[in-house]
Structure 1
C-alpha cells in the first residue's frame, strides 16, 4: 500500500471562528480608547456661553457711551491745553520812544521761538524805540534789540541780553483753516497773559497799517484783541503758534476791539524776519 503524504499545518492561517487575531484586537482597543477620550473631552469641556441677549448688548453699548462722555468731561478744555502749552514761551515787550519832550511807553507781546531766546513780535511795537525791554514768563527781565525785521509783514525778531535759566521755545504750527478754533494770548490793555478764544473768520486778508503800508495775506479771526496784544501768538487748539497778532479792525479810529483781529501767518512771520534763530 503506497505511503500517504502528510500536509503540514500552517499556523498563520485565518483564525478559527469566534477567535480574533492579536492585530485586530489591538485596533479594536485603540478605537475604543479614542472613543473614550473623545467622550471624556466632551464631558469635561465647559459648555459654550449662550449668546448675549439684546438687553445685554444695549447695556454694553450704553456703558461705552457713558464712559466716553465721562472721559470727555474729565479732559481739559482746549483753551486750557493751549494756554498751558504756550505759557512758558510768552513774553511781555515794553518799548520807549521819545516824543514831545517826554518818553512814551508802549506795551506789546511776543513769543520765544528759539533755544537761544529769540523773540518774535510785531515790528510796530518796537520800531523807532530808544529802548526795548523783554519780560519772560519766569519774571526775568532783559534789555533787547531788533535783530531782524520785515516791515512788509510787520514782524521783528528781538535778541535779548539776558536769558532766564530755562528757555522754552514755542512750537510752531501749520496754517489754519477757516472755522478752526484759535486763541489769542497777550497783554491787552496791560492785563498780562490774557487769553481770548474765537475762530478763523477768513484767510488772505489785507489791511492798511497806521503808517500807510498794506499788510497782505493775513489771518482774520474774531477772538478779542486790544492794544497790548500786538506781537502775541495766535494759537491752535494744541497750543502751537499759527500766527503773530498784528492789528485789529479800526473803522471808527478807535483803539478798542470791534470784533475783527488780524495775524500774520507764522510761516510768513518766521520766514519774513529771517526765520527763528537757532
Structure 2
C-alpha cells in the first residue's frame, strides 16, 4: 500500500540580481510609477508647443502686410489735397452776405412819405423792417416824422398805408402800424450785440435803388454823433458799410441775417448828402424795445 507523501515545498525563485519580490509602496515602485507618468505629461507638453509653433507660423505666413512707411511726399500730398478740397467746398458754399440777404428779404419794407412844407409837397423814402407777427414795422424816426402820408410797400409787391405807433426821439426810432398786412407776415429775427471787426450788412433802398445790400464791418461801438436842433444820438454802432439816403430805418444784419441795429445816419462833415465811409446804426437792444421785441 502506497504511502502518501507530503507535497514538496516550493521555494520562491528570485530573479537574478534581485533583492526579493517588489512590495507595493516601496521606493522602486514609486520610481517606476513616476517614470510611467512623466513621459505622458512631457508628450502632452511637446504637442502643445508644436501646435502653438504651427499656429504662430501660419499667422506669420498669412497675415496681411503692414502699411508702408509714411514719407514726406505723402504728407505734402495729403496737405495739398485737404487745401484743395476746402477751397472747393468754400467756392460752392453761398456767401454770408447772400444768406443774410435771403433771411431779411421777406421782412424788408420800402417806406414812402409825403410832407407839406412852405414850398409845397415833398416826398421822401426810407426803409423799415417787420419785427412782430402783428406787422409792426421798425424804422428811423426821421424817415416818418412830420409826414402827412405814409405808405409801406412789402417785398411781395403789395402795399398799405401806415401810421406812427410809437417813437423814441432820443434814439431816432419809430414804429409803424400798417393798415393791411402782406399775405404772409415774416418777422425778422433780432440778434444780440456785435463786436468791433464783426462783419455786418446794411439793407435798404439807397437813392431809390430798392432792396440793396452793402457789406462792411463794425468800426467802433458806443459812438455819439450830433444831429439837427443841437441834439445828439448816443451809443451808436459805427460801420463802414455804405449807407446813403434811403438806407435810413433799414436793418443792419449780422452774418446770420439777424437784425443787430437800425441804420440812422451817416457822417456828413461838409453837408454833402452822400456816404463818406462812416455810417451809424442804433443797436437793436435799444431799438427793439420800441416795438416790444427784446433781442433774441
Deviations 1:130-183 (A, max 9, x none): 232221111121222222221110111222232222222222222222233222
Residue in 2 that maps onto 1:54:
72
Distance 1:276-1:146 versus aligned 2 partners, 3 A rule = farther
Q: Is the 8 A contact 1:114 1:277 kept in 2?
A: no
Residue in 2 that maps onto 1:37:
55
Residue in 2 that maps onto 1:150:
168
1:172 to 179, 190, 208: 190
2:93 to 53, 56, 75: 75
Whole-Å separation in 1 of the counterparts to 2:72 and 2:272: 65
2:293 corresponds to 1:276: yes
2:126 corresponds to 1:108: yes
Larger fraction in helix: 2
Q: Which runs of 5+ in 1 are unaligned?
A: none
Distance 1:212-1:275 versus aligned 2 partners, 3 A rule = farther
What is the deviation of 1:23? 3.5
Matches of residues 198-277 of structure 1 in structure 2 within 5 Å? Answer: 198-271=216-289, 273-276=290-293
Deviations 1:184-238 (A, max 9, x none): 1101111101112222222222222234421111112222211111100112233
Structure number, greater radius of gyration: 2
- Partner of 1:80, secondary structure, is helix
What is the deviation of 1:20? 6.0
1:192 to 182, 185, 210: 210
CA RMSD, 1 decimal? 2.6
Q: Which runs of 5+ in 2 are unaligned?
A: 1-8, 13-19
Whole-Å separation in 2 of the counterparts to 1:13 and 1:277: 98
Residue in 1 that maps onto 2:22:
7
Residue in 2 that maps onto 1:84:
102
> Normalized against structure 2, the TM-score is what?
0.83
What is the deviation of 1:45? 0.8
Q: Is the 8 A contact 2:138 2:291 kept in 1?
A: no
Equivalent residue pairs, number: 275
Whole-Å separation in 2 of the counterparts to 1:243 and 1:116: 20
> Normalized against structure 1, the TM-score is what?
0.88
Distance 1:25-1:154 versus aligned 2 partners, 3 A rule = same
- Partner of 1:157, secondary structure, is strand
Q: Is the 8 A contact 2:142 2:172 kept in 1?
A: yes
What is the deviation of 1:102? 4.0
What is the deviation of 1:3? 7.0
Distance 1:22-1:189 versus aligned 2 partners, 3 A rule = same
**Range 120-129 or range 170-179, more displaced:** 170-179
Whole-Å separation in 1 of the counterparts to 2:269 and 2:119: 31
Residue in 2 that maps onto 1:129:
147
Q: Is the 8 A contact 2:285 2:294 kept in 1?
A: no
